Structure 1
Amino acid sequence: MAVSLQPGGVVLVELHRPAVRNALRTATLAEIVDVLDIVAADAHLGAVVITGSEKFFAAGADLKEMGALGPIELLADGRPRYWKRIAAFPKPLLAAVSGYALGAGCELAMQADIVIAGEGAQFGQPEINLGIIPGAGGTQRLVRVVGKSRAMQMVLSGEPIDAACALQCGLVSEVVPDEQVVPRTLALARLIAGKAPLALRAAKEALLLSYESALTPALEAERKAFVLLAASQDRNEGIAAFLEKRRPNYEGR
């Protein structure tokens, strides 16, 4: 895995296990979490972009590793903890997907707040072909994003969908030419990272809450966050900059 600092306080994480099509082993998830922890603690870093290779974002979990685990070992497996920590990352997380995002790769993409896909991207949950089911949110996040019928088709048949279908279903937010996937995602990440940090965190929390809460308590939480931001210096700076027709200087306070 390669990690690099990009302009605008964006960190680029590139999966690099070409021999196994970027299969996600436990150590890879641990490395991703370590990077996210560093970014979360650094006020100068505003967003993370995860990508893979031109042909494979990530083709699934590492089957050699997973195949060696029985029920007892799976109960003690650390992977669920890593997935939870990825989901808890408080700053914007974007995925730049080229090629295949299958199984755990599709589940990793769904952990991202925004997914930009190349025209040749493929998304799927093929676990049924191995006599198993998705185990890192594939059944739960997928149905919430694409709806019951499409999720059932993808999970029960194991057949992937292409980028155009993923866009139509809401699994990705944008489809671009394959060679533009990473540049476009980095540009969007830079734009987002330049916004007020407290507002970004509050907005992400409120949006994610819509998946896990009924409408009334979610609206109450949104309003509470809106009111609390009125006490921030960034809110005052944002309004002042707008009125003075200048760029705001946000400090995360």
Structure 2
Amino acid sequence: MNYENILSNTQNGLTTITINRPKKLNALNIETIQELHDALDAANKDKNTKVILVTGSGEKAFVAGADISEFADFDVEEGRKLAANGQELLFDFVENLATPVIAAVNGFALGGGLELAMACHFRVASDNAKMGLPEVSLGVIPGYGGTQRLPQLVGKGRAMEMVMTAGMIDAQTAKDYGLVNHVVSQEELLPLAEKIASKIMRNSSVAIKSAIKAINANYKDGVNGYKTEVKQFGKCFGTKDFTEGTTAFLEKRKADFPGE
């Protein structure tokens, strides 16, 4: 599939999706959000894809925010729909995707860019990365899940400070906060993400899908995460991956998971 604002490439089980609007610092507009949804959906359905990597083109930005020119004149109802549609189409979609999604944060990840990174299953960052939710400086609040996911990751107090001050934090602070897992130089960023992806690929994709569901359940209102874990644990026993994994362990050999 051809895209206007992103690049998608699959190789050795890894699909790399690159937001490619360098002149706009990879800002998210409505078209880019749709293209990201389509590319992620296609990768998730591709049996050759075991891990998805999301990053930004160039050295300056992962995603520097939303494209403000698109919604500067929106009214109340249009603003509500913008947030609701974006969350459903991309941000919630990424969080609940069965295929692991790693965000490789290179440069600025602001506003919708940080919200996209937080929706991914985990994040690695280059040492020049800057992250923040500056929306209150524009008279609005984060609308793509930022007020929910940021406190889940860094705690309520730190999230309140970051949102209220509209300030940015550097990569090392983000790591100290638990917002990103690793910080490396820009040259090492994609190789690190690919190395982590290769480790993930050695394991059962079916079990990983169940793990994503169980972990996410802990953050959903009205859902008992422990019960979800029990259910997903039991489901694993009916899979070919479970049979292969346990048999390989007992036979003292490396498992060759069929992904079923």
TM-score range, shorter chain: over 0.9
Q: Is the 8 A contact 1:116 1:172 kept in 2?
A: yes
Which of 230, 235, 259 is matched with 1:223 structurally? Answer: 230
Query: Residue 59 in 1 paired to residue 64 in 2?
Result: yes
Q: Is the 8 A contact 2:126 2:184 kept in 1?
A: yes
Which of 58, 72, 79 is matched with 2:77 structurally? Answer: 72
Which of 34, 49, 53 is matched with 2:53 structurally? Answer: 49
Query: Residue 89 in 1 paired to residue 93 in 2?
Result: no
Amino acid corresponding to residue 248 of structure 1 in structure 2: A
Higher relative contact order (CA 8 A, sep 6+): 1
Higher mean C-alpha deviation, range 171-180 or range 71-80: 71-80
Q: Is the 8 A contact 1:116 1:174 kept in 2?
A: yes
Partner of 1:252: 259
SS of the counterpart of 1:251? coil
Query: Residue 36 in 1 paired to residue 40 in 2?
Result: yes
Q: Is the 8 A contact 1:15 1:51 kept in 2?
A: yes
Amino acid corresponding to residue 246 of structure 2 in structure 1: I
In the alignment of these two chains, the number of paired residues is 251
- State the alpha-carbon separation in 1 of the partners of residues 216 and 42 from structure 2: 22
Partner of 2:3: none
Identity in percent: 36
What are the superposed Cα offsets for residues 206-235 of structure 1, whole Å, 9 maximum, x if unpaired? 1111222579x3112212211221121111
Alignment gaps of 5+ in structure 2: 1-5
Amino acid corresponding to residue 207 of structure 1 in structure 2: I
Shift of 1:112: 0.7
Q: Superposed, which structure 2 residues align to 1:1-253 within 5 Å?
A: 1-7=6-12, 9-52=13-56, 53-77=58-82, 78-82=85-89, 83-212=91-220, 217-253=224-260
Higher mean C-alpha deviation, range 85-94 or range 10-19: 85-94
Amino acid corresponding to residue 100 of structure 1 in structure 2: F
SS of the counterpart of 2:146? coil
**TM-score calculated relative to the size of structure 2:** 0.91
Alignment gaps of 5+ in structure 1: none
Q: Which runs of 4+ in 1 moved over 4 A?
A: none
- State the alpha-carbon separation in 1 of the partners of residues 136 and 235 from structure 2: 46
Shift of 1:245: 2.9
Q: Is the 8 A contact 1:46 1:194 kept in 2?
A: no
- State the alpha-carbon separation in 1 of the partners of residues 40 and 244 from structure 2: 28
Shift of 1:95: 0.3
CA RMSD of aligned residues (A): 1.6
